[in-house]
Structure 1
Amino acid sequence: MATPVLTAVKYGNVTRCFFKDAVRCVSTTSSLQSPRRPKTGGRNIVLVDGVRTPFLQSSTTYKSLMPHDLARTAIQGLLKRTAVKTTDVEYVVFGTVIQEVNTSNLAREASLGAGMPQNIPAHTVTQACISSNQAITTGVGLIASGQVDAVVSGGVEFMSDVPIRWGRKLRQMALKMNKTKGAQAQMSLLIKTLASKPAFLEIPAVAEFSTGEVMGHSADRLCAAFGISRIEQDEYALRSHTKAHWASEKGLLSDIIPYKVPGVAETVVKDNGIRPSSIEKLSKLKAAFIKPHGTITAANSSFLTDGASACLLMSEEKALALGFQPKAYLREFVYVSQDPKDQLLLGPAYATPRVLEKAGLAMSDISVFEFHEAFAGQILANLKAMDSDYFAKNHMNRSEKVGTPDLSKFNLWGGSLSIGHPFGATGVRLLTTAANRLIDEDGQFALIAACAAGGIGHGMVVERYPQK
């Protein structure tokens, strides 16, 4: 293959750069601006396609499964959707949050279960609600560095069966008892331990280890700080469910792959948490966290969800050589972090201006916004923060605000509030939806953003790939 030649084309006041080589020549007569040169080692990295299982409320149809079952199904669905040969995939990386102890390297178990060759390495990452975002960018790094040319990145979460442990003293007792000989000595150890009144169970909680505060409590305080009313939150939640229902009925949620769950008669083909309601019904729900005066309710929060997602990433050269029609370029991305107490959920507000700067774009250049909806109030607080000069100057050390995304371009096919939020799988859903919307809506750039536990956030710019 000929050595790529970088060619610069000027559009207005911005110079766009693209590669011209023996494989592909980008047409400058396209309605899209020419793709910008990535800062990832000079390689163009593309999303070939992405899929997901239907996202289901926990303790429903998937409840008898295990996380790697969902992850395996997502990989198999991706292989079938793209028709990629397993021998052309060189690495698998999956994100998850609450680990199943029996499958600690879940990515490897899912890969083997999906029929991937045994010589394809796989590893698992975790970064709270942006775990599959991390899986994606880990794949980007592997491709950009030239280690591989094709990666399956994905994520999974299974809230129907989380690992519940004995209390610490009971665990220590069990370990000691395993080494203690004689029934009398073991009984003595048991009596001594029980006399200390140990905690019997430790159940995972959606809470910050550093602060001890559950995320819903943080969201309630964030809404109070930014003056987000209950009615605003309920209206946004209704918007999410209404748009998701519309998109589902129109067949726009095409990333879903049907799942025939063993022992279940009907094949699962849709998300089961999408429930358009009315403001009147939503207003009757009581506060879920700060009682009785909080504004966060079950209806304006994302719900515990089971689901998995997977996407195929490749270098552009590899994708074209194999005859694929990519959906999007993966351009710039950033990770941010801030105060995990008062600013726990403001990741998108911090990530958005930074990733736009890296990409050389303005808010007005973005055609599609896909933001993770942890809570309706979290989304609205981020929008207010982004539209505040005071917040920009005093909290972000920026000279001016970045501005608010145009809501006519924002989460138009629903979001985590309605579709569901399997912690480890949402990032791939955001990416795939952004790419599909760019094609459907004839846009060029999309911006993905998400918050995560620990006060972490992620932002990424995606560019539509010229379609044939």
Structure 2
Amino acid sequence: MHMRFLLEGGQKLRLCCCLILQPSCQEEDVGEFFYLCDANSLCFDPVLRGLLTRTSVPRDVVDYIVYGTVIQEVKTSNVAREAALGAGFSDKTPAHTVTMACISSNQAMTTGVGMIAAGQCDVVVAGGVELMSDVPIRHSRKMRKTMLTLNRAKTLGQKLSLISKIRPDYFAPELPAVAEFSTSETMGHSDSGAQLCVLPQDEYALRSHSLAKKAQDEGLLQDVVPFKVPGKDTVTKDNGIRPSSLEQMGKLKPAFVKPYGTVTAANSSFLTDGASAMLIMSEEKALAMGYKPKAYLRDFVYVSQDPKDQLLLGPTYATPKVLEKAGLTLSDIDVFEFHEAFAGQILANLKAMDSDWFAQNYMGRKSKVGAPPLDKFNTWGGSLSLGHPFGATGCRLVITAAHRLKKEGGQYGLVAACAAGGQVMVQG
């Protein structure tokens, strides 16, 4: 599935007023300390409280809170509610959590927009969170069954009998799956289908890191709030930005399809902890409260396609749809922000978007939509360099697009994010 947004500077629809990001932290750097935290504290401590501080919005003005997450912790299955209470919001403020793979926070945003459009709310906080350094790892199915049965055993003899049946293989953990549940495929398979070589992927990944480093050095990534990691110094900026060299990147081995695959750790987004929050209002409410909108949401679409051979090609399908809904063309867009799950995924989409053959044979269209010009595309880096905390990335994409529109004097921005299951969301 994929999602796409269209943002603009002046159309009167819904506005994205402010976004706060907890710095995206590379799992290998802080994971040993982040296990002392949880997704709940990632949300309410720096992010929700940071949003309240920066916007000065009264807690009691917020009508609803929606959060997105992917790898849920059972103890905080409705992390939106727990985070809201932890951040000091009223216990009368409803909150719920959504999940839609990598577009979970996009879904949170559009859910909030829908509630405002329906007249149910005036002010909504939307966001997302992911704690990938401490994902739940289950016991094996055999062990789980034994433990549940043991819990029902009434006598000591019954308990000892069950314990005696436990074998060493029962203790093998059940790790989170990397492959798609419905197809058993990974990005490596999709990448091979697009016939992409490793060098162009490494070149694109290096571009992402180099642009992110430049943006960070110039102070453009301004919505990050500090996060104190227990037992370690405070994290004040995204710490996965690491420009390297094509020579060093080329030494890494394939991550999925071995030994000849082209997707490596160098051209993939890395395991990341992070959270985000966004304040969304109707324009009427925002102006009445004295807020100046950062951006307006003009339109959005969700699409999905066959996850077997088009797993992450959603942006190709969704872009022409959202442009047609908004009455725009590709040349009208000043800023493009696409989620970079893998360099191969980006290159495959750019290739498909610029192909009449693909448009005619797969999309039922007469002609291609065209590929976005790279001088407008992810010019402050992307998920490859800034990280990809699954549930929080959507908000990061939107606020980056909003800031770029302001700095570059543009009018329209287009945000696209692919997700597991062959889904996508596009907005603008």
Same fold (TM over 0.5): yes
Band of TM-score, shorter chain: over 0.9
Look up the match of 2:288. Answer: 321
Q: Distance in 2 between matches of 1:84 and 1:207?
A: 42
Q: Find 1:236's aligned residue among 204, 221, 227.
A: 204
Tell me if the contact between 1:46 and 1:330 (Cα under 8 Å) persists in the aligned partners.
yes
Q: State the Cα RMSD in Å.
A: 1.5
Look up the match of 1:21. Answer: none
Which amino acid in structure 2 is aligned with residue 320 of structure 1?
Answer: L
CA shift for structure 1 position 59: 4.2
Indicate yes or no: 2:422 matched with 1:459: no
Look up the match of 1:160. Answer: 133
Q: Distance in 2 between matches of 1:425 and 1:65?
A: 17
| Equivalent position SS for 1:311 | strand
Tell me if the contact between 2:65 and 2:96 (Cα under 8 Å) persists in the aligned partners.
yes
Q: Distance in 1 between matches of 2:156 and 2:162?
A: 10
CA shift for structure 1 position 405: 0.4
Look up the match of 1:51. Answer: 20
Deviations 1:232-286 (A, max 9, x none): 101100000000000000000011111223433x321111100011111111222
Tell me if the contact between 2:9 and 2:410 (Cα under 8 Å) persists in the aligned partners.
no
Indicate yes or no: 2:106 matched with 1:139: no
| Equivalent position SS for 1:54 | strand
The TM-score with structure 1 as length reference comes to: 0.87
Deviations 1:69-124 (A, max 9, x none): 11112111111111111111111000000001111100001111111111100000
Q: Find 2:173's aligned residue among 196, 201, 204.
A: 201
| Equivalent position SS for 1:165 | coil
Q: Distance in 2 between matches of 1:170 and 1:288?
A: 30
Tell me if the contact between 2:16 and 2:295 (Cα under 8 Å) persists in the aligned partners.
yes
CA shift for structure 1 position 34: 5.8
Tell me if the contact between 1:223 and 1:229 (Cα under 8 Å) persists in the aligned partners.
no
CA shift for structure 1 position 296: 0.7
Which amino acid in structure 2 is aligned with residue 80 of structure 1?
Answer: T
| Equivalent position SS for 1:313 | strand
Shift of the 34–302 alpha-carbon distance from structure 1 to 2, 3 Å rule, reads closer
Which amino acid in structure 2 is aligned with residue 422 of structure 1?
Answer: P
Q: Distance in 2 between matches of 1:458 and 1:286?
A: 31
Indicate yes or no: 2:49 matched with 1:76: yes
| Equivalent position SS for 2:309 | coil
Q: Find 1:225's aligned residue among 181, 193, 197.
A: 193
Q: Distance in 1 between matches of 2:38 and 2:17?
A: 28
Which amino acid in structure 2 is aligned with residue 75 of structure 1?
Answer: L
Q: Distance in 2 between matches of 1:147 and 1:59?
A: 43
Deviations 1:381-434 (A, max 9, x none): 000010111111111111111000011000000000000000000000001100
Look up the match of 1:182. Answer: 155
Look up the match of 2:3. Answer: none
CA shift for structure 1 position 33: 8.6
Q: Distance in 2 between matches of 1:148 and 1:226?
A: 44
Higher relative contact order (CA 8 A, sep 6+): 2
Look up the match of 2:416. Answer: 449
Shift of the 401–210 alpha-carbon distance from structure 1 to 2, 3 Å rule, reads same
Tell me if the contact between 2:9 and 2:296 (Cα under 8 Å) persists in the aligned partners.
no
Look up the match of 2:90. Answer: 117
Look up the match of 1:99. Answer: 72
Q: Distance in 2 between matches of 1:173 and 1:224?
A: 42
| Equivalent position SS for 2:287 | helix
| Structure 1 residue ranges without an equivalent (≥5) | 1-31, 38-43, 462-468
Look up the match of 1:172. Answer: 145
Which amino acid in structure 1 is aligned with residue 205 of structure 2?
Answer: A
Q: Find 2:182's aligned residue among 182, 203, 210.
A: 210
Tell me if the contact between 1:93 and 1:122 (Cα under 8 Å) persists in the aligned partners.
yes
Indicate yes or no: 2:226 matched with 1:261: no
CA shift for structure 1 position 331: 1.4
Q: Distance in 2 between matches of 1:395 and 1:389?
A: 10
Q: Distance in 2 between matches of 1:285 and 1:192?
A: 44
Q: Find 1:394's aligned residue among 358, 361, 370.
A: 361
CA shift for structure 1 position 45: 0.9
Aligned length: 417
Q: Percent identity?
A: 61
Deviations 1:36-75 (A, max 9, x none): x6xxxxxx21011111011001143334211111111211
Shift of the 117–59 alpha-carbon distance from structure 1 to 2, 3 Å rule, reads farther
Q: Distance in 1 between matches of 2:172 and 2:354?
A: 48
CA shift for structure 1 position 193: 5.1
Which amino acid in structure 2 is aligned with residue 70 of structure 1?
Answer: L
Q: Find 1:310's aligned residue among 277, 291, 315.
A: 277
From the CA coordinates, give the structure whose radius of gyration is larger: 1
Tell me if the contact between 1:368 and 1:434 (Cα under 8 Å) persists in the aligned partners.
yes
Q: Distance in 2 between matches of 1:289 and 1:371?
A: 23
Deviations 1:182-209 (A, max 9, x none): 12111112334549x5474212123211
